Amino acid sequence: MRDCPLTAELPPPRASACPGLLRIVPALDGGICRVKLPGGVLRSAQARAIGEAARRYASGTLELTNRSNLQIRGVLPGQESALIGALLAAGVGPRVAAADDVRNLLLSPAAGLDPQARMDVRPLAGQLLDLLQDTPALHALSAKFALQLDGGEALAMREHPHDLWLAAEDERHLLLGLAGCPNDAPLARIEAAQAVELVRQLLLLFLELATPEQSRMRQLLAQLPASELLQRLQARLDFPLQPPTADWQTPAGVERAPAGIYPQARAGLCMVVAGAQLGRLHAEQLLALAELSERHAGGELRLTPWQGLLLGNVQQAEAATLCNALGELGLLHEAGDPLLGLVACTGSAACARGLADSKHHALHLAELLRANGARPQAHLSACPRSCASARVQPYTLLASTPDHYQLYQRTPEVTGFGRLLVPSMTIDEAGAWFARHLPAGLPDA
- Binned at pLDDT 50, 70 and 90, residue 160 comes out as confident
Asked if pLDDT for residue 444 goes beyond 80, the answer is no
d(CA 28, CA 352): 7
Each residue of 270-326: pLDDT tens digit?
999 999 999 999 999 999 999 999 999 999 999 999 999 999 999 999 999 999 999
DSSP three-state, residue 335: coil
The pLDDT of residue 445: 53
d(CA 60, CA 283): 5
The pLDDT of residue 249: 78
Beta-sheet pairing, 342-344 with 147-150? unpaired
Q: Which has more confidence, 147 or 9?
A: 147
What does the angle CA 146 – CA 152 – CA 156 come to, to the nearest 5 degrees? 60
**Order of all β-strands in the sheet with 378-381:** 342-344, 378-381, 395-401, 404-411, 414-425
Given CA atoms 206, 212, 216, 219 in this order, what sign does their dihedral have? negative
Q: How many CB atoms lie within 10 A of CB 282?
A: 18
Asked if pLDDT for residue 38 goes beyond 80, the answer is yes
Each residue of 63-119: pLDDT tens digit?
999 999 999 999 999 999 999 999 999 999 999 999 999 999 999 999 999 999 999
The pLDDT of residue 443: 53
Range in 7-11, 382-386, 395-399 the model is least confident about:
7-11
Q: What percent of the chain has pLDDT over 90?
A: 86
| 121 and 146 Cβ atoms separated by less than 8 Å | no
Beta-sheet pairing, 378-381 with 395-401? parallel
The pLDDT of residue 2: 41
Q: What percent of the chain has pLDDT over 70?
A: 96
Q: How many residues does the chain have?
A: 445
Asked if pLDDT for residue 3 goes beyond 80, the answer is no
Each residue of 254-268: pLDDT tens digit?
878 999 999 999 999
Each residue of 163-219: pLDDT tens digit?
999 999 999 999 999 987 766 789 999 999 999 999 999 999 999 999 999 999 999
Each residue of 363-378: pLDDT tens digit?
999 999 999 999 999 9
Rounded to the nearest 10 degrees, the angle between the axes of helix 283-296 and helix 319-328 is 170
- Binned at pLDDT 50, 70 and 90, residue 251 comes out as confident
User: Which is nearest to 221 in space by CA: 150, 412, 211, 425?
Assistant: 211
Asked if pLDDT for residue 7 goes beyond 70, the answer is no
How big, in percent rounded to 5, are the helix, strand and coil portions of the chain? 35, 25, 45
The pLDDT of residue 40: 96
The pLDDT of residue 159: 81
Helix residue ranges, H only, 260-318? 283-296
Beta-sheet pairing, 41-43 with 414-425? unpaired
Q: What is the mean pLDDT of the chain?
A: 93
Asked if pLDDT for residue 11 goes beyond 90, the answer is no
The pLDDT of residue 442: 54
Asked if pLDDT for residue 1 goes beyond 70, the answer is no
User: What is the Cα gyration radius of the chain?
Assistant: 22
User: In the predicted model, what is the mean pLDDT of residues 3-30?
Assistant: 76
pTM for this one?
0.93
| 67 and 390 Cβ atoms separated by less than 8 Å | yes
In order of 32, 196, 213, 232, 234, the CA distances from 227 in angstroms are 40, 21, 21, 9, 11
- Binned at pLDDT 50, 70 and 90, residue 440 comes out as confident
d(CA 169, CA 189): 9
The pLDDT of residue 80: 96
d(CA 345, CA 385): 10
User: In the predicted model, what is the mean pLDDT of residues 23-43?
Assistant: 96
Q: Which has more confidence, 180 or 241?
A: 241
